[in-house]
A and B are shown apart, each in its own frame.
Chain A
Amino acid sequence: MSKEQPDPQTVIIGIGEYRIAKTPMSSIGLGSCIGLVLHSRNGGMGGMAHVMLPDSQGREDRPGKFADTAVEILVTELASAGCRTSQLVAKIAGGASMFKGFSGNLNIGERNAEAIIAALKGKNIELAGKDVGGTMGRTVTYYPALEGRMVIRSADGRVKEI
């Protein structure tokens, strides 16, 4: 269990969802999925997406679900909220490979991380922190008002912050 006091304001970002806010956001049990945070260095606000797959292949119905569209929608929505792209930093966590040896799992986690990093590079957004890969699930909470802290709790109980 998390040692942090749960904040009643914390909003859960489910698989494929995204949100921009000043209040805390959390994604529970990330396996191959990635929690993507774009934090604005001024204004104490930012966005988070729960990215499931690396490539939207042109689909637009769920922008938070794919690496490419998630970066795009967060940048766009943060810009309309007054956060300039040059002020954004990114943090990512997740992308584990939990079941090695199963035929259907072609390193989705790793491909998710690579796709997000490539999309960030395309926008010149600095990757300020990452905790990706491995074999364990993670629960992440992002605190826009606390200088963009992203707290990561692994399945083995370890808690770290990026």
Chain B
Amino acid sequence: MLLNSQQCDALRELGNIGAAHAATTLSTMLMTNIEMDVPDIKVIDISQVHQYVSDELAALVLFEITGEVSGGGYVLLHIPKNSVIRLTNAMLGMTEQDRELTEMDESALLEIGNIMVSAFLDATAGLLNIIMLPSPPTLTIDMPHAAVQSILASEGFMDINEVVLFRTELRSDQHKIINNLFLLPNEPMLDEIVSMLENLLKITSGPPGTA
């Protein structure tokens, strides 16, 4: 196994803080409340990815994580197709639901992704006392499973059989918008983050005065 249950809990808490910051920025952009679930963390076999990530069309904004961590980890913002227009409408102040996606929508999606993922990584890295930055984003409107699979087959993942699937859902009930943030660290990055978290927990759970 890549992670034991204690490490999963620590990672979940870390992701929770990051996702809360991403939710705040989304809430500011849309001027509405954003509901957020506790992040879902699973260690799954690659053959089972299809049970958690579908082939239903969605907007996918992908970032590589850079900064003071080893490369090869990604953040993927997943917006189901029926949420995409509602999201960009809410952001651009438009109302027409039944329309094709334009370049304006694509710019808006990239911008939303940039702001949310920057906030997510910033808060996460801040807690670990390091710097993490998103690469420039790439947007594709495609099948989520195909995107995740392509990431898992990329060089940074080095022939894995298991993957840590980290997902958190952000919702606007008012606008009926759903977003999912996926964190896809490769093994070296995952090991680094987990050991930083363990050090952090050791320090904070030490006797009074030692922190």
Indicate if the CB atoms of B47 and A14 lie closer than 8 Å: yes
Interface residues of A in 1-55 (CB under 8 A from B): 1, 12, 14-17, 28-33, 50, 52-53
> Chain A residues near B62 (CB, 8 Å)?
99, 102
Cα separation A89 to B25 with both chains bound (whole Å): 54
Within 8 A of B (CB), among A102-121: 102-106, 108-109
Enumerate chain B residues within 8 angstroms of A133, measured Cβ to Cβ. none
- Closest-CB distance, B102 to chain A (whole angstroms): 17
B159 within 8 A of partner (CB) = yes
B-side contacts of A96, CB under 8 Å: 146, 150
Is A159 close to B, CB under 8 A? no
Q: Mark A76-116, 1 if CB is under 8 A from B, else 0.
A: 00000000000000000000111111111110110000000
Say yes or no: A102-B138 contact (C-beta < 8 A), given A14-B47, A17-B47, A108-B154.
Answer: yes
By CB atoms of chain B within 10 A, which of A29, A61, A99, A106 has the most? A29
Min distance, Cβ B208 to any Cβ of chain A, angstroms? 45
Which residue of the partner chain, among B48, B153, B161, contacts A31 with CB atoms under 8 Å?
Answer: B153
Taking the complex as formed, is B170 at the interface, i.e. its CB lies under 8 A from any CB of chain A?
Answer: no
Contact of A28 among B45, B55, B156 (CB under 8 A): B55
Is A139 a contact of B152 with CB atoms below 8 Å? no
- A29-B54, A102-B62 known; A137 and B145 CB under 8 Å? yes
Cα of A108 to Cα of B158 in the assembled complex, Å: 12
A62 lies within 8 A of chain B by Cβ: yes
Count how many chain A residues have C-beta atoms less than 8 Å from C-beta atoms of the other chain.
Answer: 37
With contact pairs A16-B47, A138-B146 given, residues A53 and B153 touching in the complex (Cβ less than 8 Å): yes
Near A by CB (< 8 A), chain B positions 150-181 give 150-157, 159, 161
Q: In the assembled complex, which residues on chain A have CB atoms less than 8 Å from the CB atom of B49?
A: 14-15
Return the chain A residue nearest B48 by Cβ.
A14
A128 contacts B by Cβ under 8 Å: no
Query: Smallest Cβ distance from A139 to chain B, in angstroms?
Result: 5
The interface residues of chain B lying within 8 Å CB-to-CB of A108 are 150, 153-154
Asked whether A105 and B46 contact (CB < 8 A) given A30-B149, A155-B141, the answer is no
User: Which A residue sits closest to B135, measured CB to CB?
Assistant: A102
Shortest CB distance B61–A (Å): 11
- Measured in the bound complex, the distance between the Cα atoms of B70 and A65 in whole Å is 26
A106–B71 alpha-carbon span in the complex (Å): 15
Interface residues of A (CB under 8 A from B): 1, 12, 14-17, 28-33, 50, 52-53, 61-62, 96-106, 108-109, 135-139, 155, 157
A-binding residues in B (CB < 8 A): 45-50, 53-57, 62, 64, 71-72, 135, 138, 140-157, 159, 161
The 9 A-B residue pairs with the shortest CB-CB distance in the complex, in nearest-first order: A29-B145, A137-B146, A14-B47, A31-B150, A31-B146, A137-B143, A104-B154, A29-B55, A29-B146
A–B complex contacts, Cβ < 8 Å, 7 sampled: A31-B146, A33-B149, A98-B140, A99-B151, A103-B71, A137-B55, A137-B146
